[in-house]
Structure 1
Amino acid sequence: MPIRSLKVIQILLFVAIIFVATGCSLNEVKKAAGIKNPSVSLEGMQITDLTMESADLALRLTIDNPNPIPINLAGFDYALLFDGKQLLAGKKRDQFKIDAKGVNTVTVPVSLNFADLKALYQGATDQDTLNYELQTTALVDLPVIGVKKFPATQKGQFPVPKIPEVSLAGVNVKKMGLSGAEVVISANIKNPNTFGIDVSQLAYQLSINGVQWAESTVSETIKLAEKAETQINIPLKLNFMEMGSSLYSALMKSKGLNYQLKGDMNLDTALPMLKNVKVPFDKSGVVGVKR
């Protein structure tokens, strides 16, 4: 062990004996021995899974030991708050050593329920950013003194990711005969976020009036700037014999068609927290037919 570390431990032992004997507080012991509080900060967040109801996150926490001696971390408690309202809390009891003047990074998996978030912060899902506060308490096993708690707080903002909106814009009948029809399906993809996104591997199932028309994947990458919208056109060949006479009647009528468009897509952004995540979509409505 380095001579400096031995000296610090000797000082700790000396001041601990004196201050325990005189009934002084832990803060006074730390002050006399020159012990600085380890700090825990939020380095970043990564979305590992995203559904219509929730998001799984990986919190990357950095633990900084400012002291000239190694410390043993016995674990830590954490709580994540939005606008002063606690959304989630937990404990991590993994033990590891942090070198003198060293920094360690740990990953904490958590699940974020959008319904709970909206209940805690009304209208949060309509915002582009959220204020957060991370409260942590590090449990540090200090030489001589033993396991002590070191609280820390970090505040900041992070963008609220929103799932791109996919909807059917129209059905354009290009050719129609006795056995089938050739149509072009137009679908809108809207980016509701304040940052650009790349959409790829868009797998979809399209049903019209309760009958499945198509199931396929758009493999090309679609780039959307912030708050931007684009339209993709999908050509289809429909067989009346396979899909039934109701298809012919639906295309001939002037009224709108009931549709359901569902599937999933890969979403990629420049944000460290949102990289190559598969997200679902499910949209129903009424679409017009153009002949």
Structure 2
Amino acid sequence: MASSEERDTKEREHKEEKEVEKGGFIEKVKDFIHDIGEKIEEAIGFGKPTADVTGIHFPSINLKKADIVVDVLIKNPNPVPIPLIDINYLIESDGRKLVSGLIPDSGTIHAHGEETVKIPITLIYDDIKETYSDIKPGSIIPYKIKVDLIIDVPVFGRLTLPLEKTGEIPIPYKPDIDVEKIKFEKFSLEETVAVLHVKLENKNDFDLGLNDLDYEVWLAEVSVGGADLTKSAKLEKNGISYIELPITFRPKDFGSALWDMIRGKGTGYSMKGNINVDTPFGSMKLPISKEGGTTRIKKNKDDGGDDDDDDEE
């Protein structure tokens, strides 16, 4: 007759055998269901869509804001269109949120097709500077864009496709401008042709390729209009550059201030306008202004002036 210990051992071994058989059966069922699922997917042609950030553009950047467009390429391998339910986006810098938002009902991706979805984002600089006082105008800051695409796919259900992209974005700062002197090319009371010798200080951490400048100049509170930039120039980052701007005016319009101008005593001036520049981040239009400045007027020797080059830049 078997002892109680022997009976317990046999019962335990029998139970373990049953559990092994049960576990094996469950695994076989799981494998069978998985195989059937794959065969169904193959038969009806369903698969998970994919997405990738293919580009980031800055259509417009000025002192107030930056317009950003994120290009996302979505591929749909399925035989039916897929609705793009929501797009969640977030831009952060060093872990700090700069802007976030949601775009609902963003369209449909065609069956067996691919489509580039453009996500427009606007970054307001005042909001950033008010929140993070250490972010200074003229600087370049790192950014990370996070995008979640929420789609509804038959068989799979609702899916979220997370995307990330990093880069740099500028916080532009307007250049300082000064008219160091005005040199006459042709002098008469009826019409005087002169050149403004202008100093521009670029206070940004990136170069500015100066392409165009629209401006208006006031001499002794009399507007003398403006003119086009004769040639392009490169404004080095955190550097000072000199450019020459032609103007034409009528000295007899200046009244008594004319005599101070002729005697070389200097004249008050103001200048206001915009510069159009190329940058590593795209083109920008930046304002320039100078109120209440004072500059010298120099005449050519042919007009009775002292046209030396001792004070040339």
TM-score by length of 1: 0.69
SS in 2 for 1:242: helix
Unpaired runs of at least 5, structure 2? 1-35, 299-313
CA–CA distance in 1 between the matches of 2:262 and 2:38?
84
CA–CA distance in 2 between the matches of 1:251 and 1:110?
55
Q: Report the residue type matching 1:128 in the other structure.
A: S
Matches within 5 A, 1:66-215: 69=78, 71-92=82-103, 93-97=105-109, 104-126=115-137, 128-148=139-159, 150=160, 152=162, 154=164, 156-160=166-170, 162-163=172-173, 165-174=175-184, 183-215=194-226
The answer on 1:52 being equivalent to 2:63 is: yes
Q: Report the residue type matching 2:290 in the other structure.
A: K
Higher alpha-carbon Rg: 2
SS in 2 for 1:118: helix
The CA RMSD measured in Å over matched residues stands at 3.8
TM-score by length of 2: 0.65
Count of aligned positions: 257
CA–CA distance in 2 between the matches of 1:231 and 1:241?
29
CA–CA distance in 2 between the matches of 1:47 and 1:9?
47
- Name 2:287's counterpart in structure 1: 280
CA–CA distance in 2 between the matches of 1:99 and 1:163?
47
TM-superposition CA deviations, 1:141-174 (whole Å, max 9, x none): 11134334x2635252314153562512312354
TM-superposition CA deviations, 1:85-130 (whole Å, max 9, x none): 3222222232121676x76432222322221121222232346321
Q: Contact 1:256–1:288 at 8 Å: present in 2 too?
A: yes
Q: Contact 1:73–1:141 at 8 Å: present in 2 too?
A: yes
Q: Contact 2:224–2:249 at 8 Å: present in 1 too?
A: yes
- Name 2:276's counterpart in structure 1: 266
CA–CA distance in 2 between the matches of 1:146 and 1:203?
57
CA–CA distance in 2 between the matches of 1:176 and 1:216?
18
SS in 1 for 2:228: strand
TM-superposition CA deviations, 1:166-219 (whole Å, max 9, x none): 512312354766667664321123444444432222111112343212322215
Q: CA deviation at 1:134?
A: 2.0
CA–CA distance in 1 between the matches of 2:169 and 2:215?
27
Query: Which of 1 and 2 has higher RCO (CA within 8 Å, sep 6+)?
Result: 1
CA–CA distance in 1 between the matches of 2:99 and 2:262?
51
Q: Report the residue type matching 1:283 in the other structure.
A: K
- Name 2:40's counterpart in structure 1: 10
Q: Report the residue type matching 2:195 in the other structure.
A: V
Unpaired runs of at least 5, structure 1? 1-5, 13-33
Q: Report the residue type matching 1:199 in the other structure.
A: L
1:61 to 49, 54, 71: 71
Q: Contact 2:142–2:169 at 8 Å: present in 1 too?
A: no
CA–CA distance in 2 between the matches of 1:79 and 1:41?
14
